[in-house]
Amino acid sequence: MCHYEKDYRRRENTMAEQINALVVHAQDETFQELLQVLRTLGIKVVRARNCREATLLLKKDVGVDLVFAGTGFQDGGWADVLQLAQRSKSYLPVIVISQMTDVRLYLKVLGSGAFDYVTPPFLAADMAHIVRSAIYKGLVSEKQDLTAPPVA
Determine the residue type at 101: T
Task: Give the list of residues 6+ apart from residue 18 with CB closer than 8 angstroms, or none.
Answer: 11, 65
Q: Yes or no: say if 62 and 21 are a contact pair by the CB < 8 Å rule.
A: no
Summarised one tens digit per residue, pLDDT across range 85-142 is: 998 878 899 999 999 999 999 999 999 999 999 999 999 999 999 999 998 876 666 5
* CA atoms of 89 and 94, how far apart (whole Å): 14
Query: φ and ψ at 36, to 5 degrees?
Result: -60, -45
The residues with which 72 forms a beta bridge, in sequence order, are 77
Summarised one tens digit per residue, pLDDT across range 5-56 is: 444 444 444 454 579 999 999 878 888 999 999 999 999 999 999 999 999 9
* CA atoms of 2 and 90, how far apart (whole Å): 20
